[in-house]
Chain A
Amino acid sequence: MNIKPNSKILLLIIVATLLPLALLLYPTIWVGKEKVQTPVSSDLWVLAIDEIDKAWRGNISLSDPLIKENCPHFYRENDDIPSELKSCRSEIFKCFFEGRKTSLKDKKKFHHLSINFKQISSSLEGKQPFVIELNIDENPLLLELNDNCRQVELPQGAYWGNHAVNIKERLWHTSGIRYFIDRFLVRRIDIREWLISMTAKDKAGVKKKGSLERLKNIYLAKTNDSIDYYAPASELLPNEMEDYCSFRRAEVLSSQVRTAITFHHGRETTEDIFTRPPSSNSAPHPFGVRKQKSPQFKAERANKKADADTCRLIFSKECREMSYYSLFPNSMGWSGVSELLGGPAEYVVNKKYPRKNLHPSSYYHSLDSTVHQAGKRVFWSGKGHRRIDFNFFTLPFFDKGVDSFDVGFRCMKVRLNE
């Protein structure tokens, strides 16, 4: 191309002017914009933490497409799981928020919210803290989410405890010791979390605590049939139950505390629990002061069979056809603890009478069975789940025609008052 000399000078002037300009703009164009932190209003923080709190309390839909993508084993096409059972679960929380693009609206403006998960390794044995980094418009905030959704504290005071000939010896008092009881039986998903954590520790070279292979084969094996993670874990043996509770810095529920919450406390108000002894006429069920409040009594009176109302209080044999989750939380007593009568039989630790370690009321017994009462105890050898492993003494045994019996359990955390 032939350029005239005048045009050459013009071109040179243009380049000379543009060059310094280009150099000035170079950092912003080529290096890229630096992330700008914009201050977040207090209302926005509260809004964001509210969302996290809601999800942590179990407000998560298991039929969400992100759950299907992140954790297909947790996906449920029709989510009928009660929020209490989904609450305080770090794995589900992660499955729900991983890769989720959330934005919050505050004063007509949209703000970008993201959640990152922090791996915290501590010298603490057992369950690790669950820490997340909440990010709003590039402002980070580290939050720890505590596993305290499904516990309730036993009010301080005097209660009925272990069976003894002398009624005075049945009495016990919390004496300033605090008992935090699991509201529900331990679930399969809880055991899964424990086993995964133990597997990770094995890989890290931490000392193994006995063989968990048996349980891993039940709970972690990948099979075609999807197991119901939210059903009570009923395949464990006593030492495994104790190991799981230790993982949560807790212990298996004692027979004494189980009796305290299954009898109605028998006093006029909850405040009276601290100052007055329990009534020797306490109703042998947790639903009301009077014996007449018992679902068995009511059903007998009304000449009716078990229905949703009675199943909501005692999940007996007749209830097995009904959906367990539609009646959840079932058998909730005055203390807030649920699944107290019916359901699977429950293992408890009895220091005074070691052979009275099973709460027998279960869904293997009909509604009218005498077994559905507070304070009943039978023996479980803990060696297996066959008929031969149980001794019901004079109480009616599990139903005929069944070879293997579910035994559930729950944990309690015991703390000292300062």
Chain B
Amino acid sequence: MIEIRGNIILAPVTEVHPLIKEGKSFSFDSPVGSYQKIIEWKKANLYSCLFYKVPIRNEQLGELIQIEGVKVCSLRNLKKASLKIEGITSLKIQDIDLIKKPRFKLRYNIEEKEFIKEYTFPFFSRENSLWAGINIYESTALGRDTSLVKEQVCRYGCKEDRSNNCQSCPSGHWTPFISLKCPASVSAICGLRECGGREQKACLRMTALKSKLTCEEARNYVYCSYGLDVNCLNNGDIICR
């Protein structure tokens, strides 16, 4: 007897097992005894996920474990499982569709019975989403910090950490520039088109494929407003005068 139950995950899905991403039906056979994360989703900064414990033949049966509303969805939170299905002898993932209507089916056996659970997750990824313009609303996403001011650096191209908070610039406006010391990466300051003018940073035309530039070479990668010329400072800044 087959029991079919459907689940729809009405939340943005953050992770899907790599084998599912390949799109072909498969069975979870190995590694035996391991916990495989099938799918993970996020709701208001908390994560939920579905794990499958692969059975060890003749020794241990498999389990489906669902964990909900935790800060990090890992095996550490197994005790907080909201759903546990034990006694699984085999599990197959089939009928995978990641484009038109993201979903897959879990087909598993407990003793003589066979079960099918369908998971639909329409909010899979922004690019491939069925509905590119629609998101589950999350109030925590609001209240952007606008603590940066004009001309403040919001991305340090020369540093290892390439993260940026240019979204926190007033009106989200920022201006890119490069330094002679690291012309291959983009740095940025807050402000709309804060470049090219007298004593301002030179405007970026493109980054260089080099680790350093001379002031003369810099002319190929930056530009100044009409009438001004490229000048370089000792600290690597390229400005217009």
Residues of A within 8 A of B (CB): 41-43, 45-46, 49-50, 52-53, 56-57, 88, 118, 120, 122-126, 129, 131, 141-149, 158, 161-162, 168-169, 171-177, 242, 246, 249-251, 349, 351-355, 414, 416, 418
Contacts and interface: CB of A to CB of B under 8 A. Distances in A.
Interface string B159-180: 0001110100011111010000
Nearest to A147: B133
Nearest to B163: A418
The bracket for how many chain B residues form the interface is 35 or more
Contacts of B176: 175, 177, 416
Interface string B77-105: 00000000000000000000000010000
B142 A351 contact: no
B195 A122 contact: no
Interface string B91-133: 0000000000100000000000000001010100000001111
Nearest to A57: B133
Nearest to A159: B206
Q: Top 4 closest A-B pairs, CB basis?
A: A42-B8, A173-B206, A142-B137, A249-B172
B62 interface: no
B41 interface: no
Nearest to A126: B171
Given A158-B206, A161-B205, A246-B171, 11 more contacts: A46-B120, A50-B130, A53-B131, A56-B134, A125-B170, A141-B10, A148-B132, A169-B223, A174-B206, A175-B207, A177-B176
B204 A175 contact: yes
Contacts of A52: 131, 134
B76 interface: no
B198 interface: no
Contact of B6 (A42, A174, A351): A42
Contacts of A57: 133
Given A129-B142, A416-B155, A416-B164, A53 B133 contact: yes
Nearest to A168: B220
Nearest to B196: A351
B225 A351 contact: yes
B157 to A, nearest CB: 10
Interface stretch (B32-40, B51-59, B186-194): B186-194
Contacts of A46: 8, 101, 120, 122, 130
A124 B206 contact: no
A246 B150 CA distance: 14
B142 A124 contact: yes
B60 interface: no
A143 B186 contact: no
Interface string B1-19: 0000011101000000000
Which among A45, A144, A147 has the highest number of chain B CB atoms within 10 Å? Answer: A144
B205 A143 contact: no
Nearest to B224: A352
A351 B193 contact: yes
Contacts of A246: 171, 173, 192
Contacts of A126: 171
13 contacts: A42-B8, A53-B134, A123-B142, A124-B142, A169-B205, A172-B205, A173-B206, A242-B192, A246-B192, A251-B192, A352-B223, A353-B226, A355-B226
B73 to A, nearest CB: 22
A158 to B, nearest CB: 7
Given A129-B142, A148-B132, A246-B173, A172 B206 contact: yes
A146 B133 contact: yes
Contact of B193 (A41, A168, A249, A349): A349
B203 interface: yes
A146 B220 contact: no
B137 A351 contact: no
A356 to B, nearest CB: 9
B120 A42 contact: yes
Contact of A42 (B118, B142, B196): B118
Given A146-B134, A351-B193, A123 B206 contact: no
A173 B174 CA distance: 18
Nearest to B138: A144
Nearest to B208: A175
Contact of B207 (A169, A176, A249): A176
Given A49-B122, A145-B133, A416-B155, A171 B205 contact: yes
Nearest to B132: A148
A395 to B, nearest CB: 19
B195 A45 contact: no
A86 B142 CA distance: 26
B165 to A, nearest CB: 10
B27 interface: no
